[in-house]
Amino acid sequence: MRLLLIEDDDILGEGLRDFLRAEGHGVDWCRSLAEARAYTGEPFDALLVDWQLPDGSGLDWLRERRARGDNTSALMLTARDRLDDRITGLDAGADDYLVKPFAPEELVARLRAVNRRVGAGATSKLLFGPVEVDLAARRVRRDGQTVDLTGREWSILEALVLRAGRLVDKGDLERLVVGFDSELSSNALEVHVSALRRKLGREMIETQRGLGYRARLPD
């Protein structure tokens, strides 16, 4: 998943960024709302937002995004633990609310849960005909046989599966897969998608030539 992390505390921000990257996610880390606004228009799978930031409220920033029609999954990461704070956070458009201190493993599990709810269903295992994708275990089976995927292939598959049935622009897909500060050539993306279609079947990923890709809807 490509994640936008907004956290002003260096120790926590760096720790979360490194942990999430080690878990196979692309992470863009901002220390302020001003930095976060530079990412406006960028596609993300989830936003991890601290409430109290040096230049404003992360909650207000989230409200602005929701008001513009952005429905990217969002988790509030905050030290504010009162019940009314949690209610305010969820009402402002957060999909989940995590009170500091929390274990990064829990954050990862909640990210998966949020994306399951928003994306494809209540379970982490999704069936696409003969193909079974387990988002929690990061594992794919075809006709019951485990399919080996490279890290990049898994990232592409995950990005498409989380948006199953929707056309994903090639440029967005490139950024979702590698993050904002890395590059992946259009040619390389096509090579990875071809490999995925070969391993999982042509019906799994539909190509809209010149536009992008679409994963089929789960069963």
Partner 1 sequence: MFWGVALALAVWLAVDHEVDELLDDTLHDAAQVLGSLLIDEEVLRHARDLPGEPLRSSSRGSSILGDRFAWQLVDPQGHVLLRSPAAPEVALHQRAAAGLDGNGQWRSFGLVLSPSGRVLYVMQSRAERWEATSTAAFSSALAALVVGVLGHLWLRMRVQVELGPIRRLSDRLRQADPGGVAGVGDLGGGLGEAEREELEPVHCAVEDLARRLSRRLDHERAFTAHAAHALRTPLAGIDAQLAVALREVPPEQRPRLQRVRDATGRLQRVVAALLALFRSGVELSQRDIELEGFVARLPVAGLDITVAPDSHLWADGDLLAAALVNLLDNAVRHGARAVRLSAPTRSQLRLEDDGPGVTAARRQELQRALAEQRYEGHMGLGLMLADMVARAHGGALHLPDGPRGFAVELLLAPADRSELAADGTAATGSAAASSAVD
Residue 100 beta carbon to partner 1: minimum distance, rounded to whole angstroms: 4
Q: Which is nearer to partner 1, 13 or 179 (CB)?
A: 13
- Over the Cα atoms of the chain, what is R_g? 17
Q: Does 211 bind partner 1 (CB under 8 A)?
A: no
Give dist(CA 33, CA 6) in Å, integer: 7
- Pick from 55, 81, 91, 183: which binds partner 1 (CB under 8 A)? 81
Query: Footprint of partner 1 on residues 97-156 (CB under 8 A)?
Result: 99-105
Q: Which is nearer to partner 1, 103 or 191 (CB)?
A: 103
Question: Which stretches of the chain are DSSP H helices?
Answer: 10-22, 33-37, 58-67, 83-91, 104-115, 151-161, 170-178, 186-200
Give dist(CA 45, CA 1) in Å, integer: 6
Stretch that binds partner 1, among 15-23, 150-158, 177-185, 186-194 (CB under 8 A): 15-23
Are 44 and 23 a contacting pair, CB within 8 Å? no
Q: Does 83 bind partner 1 (CB under 8 A)?
A: yes
Residue 15 beta carbon to partner 1: minimum distance, rounded to whole angstroms: 3
